[in-house]
Amino acid sequence: MSFSHLGLSDKVLAAVAATGYTTPTPIQEQAIPHVLARRDVLGIAQTGTGKTAAFVLPMLTMLEKGRARARMPRTLILEPTRELAAQVKESFDKYGVGQKLNVALLIGGVSFGDQDSKLTRGVDVLIATPGRLLDHTERGGLLLTGVELLVIDEADRMLDMGFIPDIERICKLVPFTRQTLFFTATMPPEIRRITETFLHNPEKVEVSRPATTATGVSQFQVSVGREPHEKRETLRRLLRDAKDLQNAIIFCNRKREVALLHKSLQKHGFSVGALHGDMDQSARTAALDQFRKGEIPLLVASDVAARGLDIPAVSHIYNFDVPHHADDYVHRIGRTARAGRTGTAISIVTPLDTKSIVAIEKLIGQTIPRAEGQSEARVSDDADQPREHRSREGSKEGSRGGRKPRREREPRHAKGGAKGAEKAGDKGVHHGNRKPPAPAARPASIGRAEPQRVAREAESEPADHSHLPAFLLRPVRARV
């Protein structure tokens, strides 16, 4: 199947060809013809399946005819977070070249005035987070009575974030006769109720069973004790030892924990950014941009901030905290192994997480292999582990090797220096019989790092920069 069989316009086909995509993904293949036939669509698909283009491409085709009127957008896309909204806008920019459509973003953290003047000029596509959209309608600067097509994206995340009442209000403000496209990765009862209320005889398009995890992800769990410092030490060891780590998102359950862990990792010399809902918009955008461009290889994030982010080729996901909701696990690990790639997801599990892990394993229909006490990289070559390294960081967990994880890829040497910035004394031990890599010069800035205000918990940890791959040490400025 090629894109040309889906009924898309020539302009849109040309834009798709320019991106280099030749074959529609299953969600695109199934959904696009229904969208073009003006049917309501219920799409059950995770991010990473190409679902954004599944609505953006037919919308662009349909919008070629007609004109926008002041303050009356023709189409409306609701997204749970600002980042996702911005990403959808980027999709319109990418696929909408050659079309003169007005695409506007209504997200928090940006001035009302600028948004208002855009609305006055007439908008073909309005991409919004629910709260800011309602603010504009309440001020009278926006009328939703001209909306011909409504997209509700990441609906289950909207539910988690408490947006469902807002969504219901918005659905009542748009005309009853509009077309609705509704995307969700899972179908909890509340979401089912919404679809039954607001979709009219929808075409159901399901590209993978709800709450299944992508096949290319190797998943592991590492057990630790209850003390917070044990989790941080374990994480650092995992990061240091992961041989094929190119970049990683490290998930925490709470914003406070994101900030704390971010500072702790920085203090230990890692090049790391942070993303959580309390950061101002420019800091969030800057952190995300740096991560996308590969300027910082690590990003500590909360679920809300990281939901659905399109960051191609994330090699590792770390659950610093096991998520309380099993669905979040699926979404988190869906950040890796996207578009046919492979990836690794490692959860750091305390005795308090047992219930959550059971729920996750039930949801995904598989057992997450244990890598007891050692990192996933170390389990496979435990004999190479330097003794002093074990006793320094791993004493709590002991040196029991767990099951050997599947190693899918050869280690990729990161740009910016040798893979391991080992101390001279570790040479030949860390890497066993293999030729040790040349010791990397540590970036000078690490030694001259400005003193930072580090939260008390992070303060108590001794900084240890040994064994860090050089690319993880690149300095980064991030406002959290």
Residues in contact with ligand AMP by CB under 6 A are 21, 23-25, 28, 47-53, 310, 312, 338-339
Q: Which of 369, 371, 374, 429 is nearest to 396 (CA)?
A: 374
CB 89, min distance to ligand AMP, A = 13
Q: Which amino acid is at 270?
A: F
Q: Is 324 helix (H, G, I), strand (E, B) or coil?
A: coil
CA–CA separation, 369 and 81 (whole Å): 32
| The residue to which tokens 């899918």 are assigned | 408
CA–CA separation, 316 and 439 (whole Å): 24
| The residue to which tokens 């990192």 are assigned | 375
CB 49, min distance to ligand AMP, A = 5
CB 378, min distance to ligand AMP, A = 32
CB 20, min distance to ligand AMP, A = 8
Residue 248 or 368: the one with the smaller Cβ distance to ligand AMP is 248
CB 54, min distance to ligand AMP, A = 7
Sign, Cα dihedral of 115, 118, 120, 126: negative
CA–CA separation, 465 and 154 (whole Å): 39
Residue 55 or 270: the one with the smaller Cβ distance to ligand AMP is 55
Residue 334 or 443: the one with the smaller Cβ distance to ligand AMP is 334
Residue 52 or 179: the one with the smaller Cβ distance to ligand AMP is 52
Residue 53 or 259: the one with the smaller Cβ distance to ligand AMP is 53
Q: What pairs with residue 205 in β-bridges?
A: 43
Residue 96 or 146: the one with the smaller Cβ distance to ligand AMP is 96
CB 257, min distance to ligand AMP, A = 26
Query: How many other CB atoms sit within 10 Å of the CB of residue 315?
Result: 20
∠ CA 277-141-305, rounded to 5°: 10
In sequence order, what E strands does 329-391 have? 343-349
CA–CA separation, 27 and 129 (whole Å): 24
Helix locations, 72-214, DSSP H: 82-95, 112-121, 130-138, 155-160, 164-173, 189-198
Q: What pairs with residue 77 in β-bridges?
A: 127, 151
| The residue to which tokens 């969030």 are assigned | 284
Pairing mode, strands 179-184 and 41-44: parallel
Direct distance between the N- and C-terminal alpha carbons of the chain, in angstroms, rounded to an integer:
46
CB 112, min distance to ligand AMP, A = 29
User: Which residue is closest to ligand AMP by CB?
Assistant: 52
CB 48, min distance to ligand AMP, A = 5
Residue 83 or 393: the one with the smaller Cβ distance to ligand AMP is 83
CB 301, min distance to ligand AMP, A = 16
Residue 51 or 430: the one with the smaller Cβ distance to ligand AMP is 51
**Using an 8 Å Cβ cutoff, are 248 and 315 in contact?**
yes
∠ CA 229-233-237, rounded to 5°: 170
**Using an 8 Å Cβ cutoff, are 354 and 329 in contact?**
no
**Using an 8 Å Cβ cutoff, are 75 and 128 in contact?**
no
CB 130, min distance to ligand AMP, A = 20
Residue 47 or 264: the one with the smaller Cβ distance to ligand AMP is 47
CB 27, min distance to ligand AMP, A = 8
Residue 95 or 318: the one with the smaller Cβ distance to ligand AMP is 95
Residue 14 or 441: the one with the smaller Cβ distance to ligand AMP is 14
Instruction: Give the HSE-up count for residue 265: Cα atoms under 13 Å, Cβ half-sphere.
Output: 37
Q: Which amino acid is at 368?
A: I
